[in-house]
Structure 1
Amino acid sequence: MYDPTFMLKLVQARMPFGRFKNRYITELPVSYLEWFARKGFPKGDLGQYLSTMYEIKINGLESILTPIIRSGRKNTE
């Protein structure tokens, strides 16, 4: 089922564990996302956010996130 707020939630999500704990998922290096792609993404929302960010980064589409980040992080920082 399509969630119209998915991209907003993605730009607000932070990595909950590991080397990049508390960093925005949109700021994770592609090498870290590639590691998850090889090993397997976690289940649930986190896995969806990471796999989506992986696809965005490997396809050079980060610019689509800029307006969402500008509007979506105003109230979270």
Structure 2
Amino acid sequence: MHPEDLQRLVTTVMPYGKHKGRLIADLPGQYLNWFAREGFPPGDIGRLLALMQELDHNGLSSLLDPLRKT
């Protein structure tokens, strides 16, 4: 993980799929868990999805709250 990845979770939108246009930080846990089971896509999006799934799975999503723009 790169330190700037946490900021990217609250600024990057999902580029495709059922939740296209939603911030990665706002994706539902079930959707993230589906990727964890089926495989994350390659590249930056896959890395960010894996990071968000890990945060969500461990109940750490609130760590992103201070990074969100008010």
- Shared fold per TM-score greater than 0.5: yes
Instruction: Specify the alignment match of 2:2 in structure 1.
Output: 3
**1:33-44 superposed matches below 5 A:** 33-44=32-43
Q: Following the alignment from structure 1 to structure 2, what is the Cα–Cα distance between the partners of residues 50 and 10?
A: 8
Structure 1 stretches of 4+ with a deviation exceeding 2 A read none
Q: Following the alignment from structure 2 to structure 1, what is the Cα–Cα distance between the partners of residues 8 and 64?
A: 12
- What secondary structure is seen at the aligned counterpart in 2 of 1:16? coil
How far 1:9 moved relative to its partner? 1.5
1:65 aligns with 2:50: no
Instruction: Specify the alignment match of 1:14 in structure 2.
Output: 13
How far 1:16 moved relative to its partner? 0.4
Q: Following the alignment from structure 1 to structure 2, what is the Cα–Cα distance between the partners of residues 5 and 61?
A: 17
**Runs of at least 5 residues in structure 2 that lack an aligned partner in the other structure:** none
Q: Percent identity over the alignment? A: 46
Q: TM-score, normalised by structure 2?
A: 0.90
- Structure 1 or 2, whichever has the larger Rg, is 1
CA RMSD across the alignment: 1.3
Cα deviation digits, residues 40-65 of structure 1 (max 9, x gap): 00111101110000000010001110
Letter in 1 for 2:7: L
Q: TM-score, normalised by structure 1?
A: 0.83
Aligned residue pairs, count: 70
Q: Following the alignment from structure 1 to structure 2, what is the Cα–Cα distance between the partners of residues 22 and 9?
A: 14
**Runs of at least 5 residues in structure 1 that lack an aligned partner in the other structure:** none
